[in-house]
Every structure is written in C-alpha cells, then in structure tokens.
C-alpha cells in the first residue's frame, strides 16, 4: 500500500452492536474475510445495504455470504470474486465508483428482506422441531 493511502485503512475496536451498525452505515464497502467469511457481520452489513466483496471457499464458513447473495437473488451483482485478484479488483471498483456502489446498495436494500423475513425457514424449523418432539 502506498504511503499516501495508509490513512484510508482504519482499525477499530468495537464494543457493541450499535457501534458496529454505525460503522457499517459509514462504510462504502465491506470486505468478507477468507477462507472463512462472516455470518453475523454479513447480515448486519446487508441490513443497511452495504455491499460485501466475498471470495467463496470450499468450506461452509467461507460460503455464507455467497449464500446470502444467492438468497437475495443477487449472485450476479458483481461482488462475488472468482480469485484473490478479482477480489481486490472488485473492492477497488466499489471503493472508487460511487454510482456502481449505489446501484448494488439499492439492490441489496430492495432484496434483503429475503434474509430477514423468510417464512419458509420458519415453517421448516417448525416442522423439524415438531418431528423431533414426537
């Protein structure tokens, strides 16, 4: 990283959910860690429409953000990288292109209800728990 760009990378020690939500609201883009990605962090970022750049791996914890994009019908939104070079390219594009970022954020906000209001998931959990109890 160039010396003049160092000031753009910030590290925080977050103490609570409200503080984390404030950081997401102030973020242009979130970088999903790999090979193991986020879950709660991805849900929080998606809840406020922040695009997440993800590089799916072969392990379950490295595919959760991809699964969320799929659930929202947004696998094609341009945030799912195919390799490390693509991951960096996507992150830089979103960081430097406000209109592309805004389009993706708008799509996330229009679709994130599929992550949080999934009646089918409730029905399946009810069916499963009922079958275990009987």
- Phi, psi at residue 107, to the nearest 5°? -65, -40
Vertex 105 angle, CA 110 and 81, to 5° = 115
Tell me how far apart the terminal alpha carbons of the chain are, to the nearest angstrom: 59
Residues with Cβ within 8 Å of 9's Cβ and at least 6 positions away in sequence, in order, are: 1
Q: What sign does the dihedral 90-93-97-99 (CA atoms) show?
A: negative
pLDDT, one tens digit per residue, over 13-71 is 888 888 988 999 999 999 998 888 888 899 999 999 999 999 999 888 889 999 999 99
How many CA atoms within 13 Å lie on the side-chain side of 73? 7
pLDDT value of residue 2: 59
């Amino acid at each position: 990283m160039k010396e003049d760009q160092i000031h753009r990378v910030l590290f925080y020690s977050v103490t609570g959910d409200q503080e984390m939500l404030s950081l997401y609201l102030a973020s242009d883009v979130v970088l999903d860690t790999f090979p193991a990605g986020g879950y709660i962090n991805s849900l929080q970022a998606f809840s406020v429409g922040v695009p997440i750049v993800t590089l799916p791996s072969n392990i379950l914890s490295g595919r959760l953000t991809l699964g969320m994009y799929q659930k929202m019908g947004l696998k094609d939104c341009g945030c799912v990288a195919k390799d490390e070079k693509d991951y960096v390219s996507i992150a830089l594009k979103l960081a430097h292109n406000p209109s592309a970022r805004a389009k993706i954020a708008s799509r996330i906000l229009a679709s994130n209800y599929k992550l949080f209001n999934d009646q089918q998931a409730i029905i399946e959990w009810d069916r499963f728990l009922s079958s275990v109890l009987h």
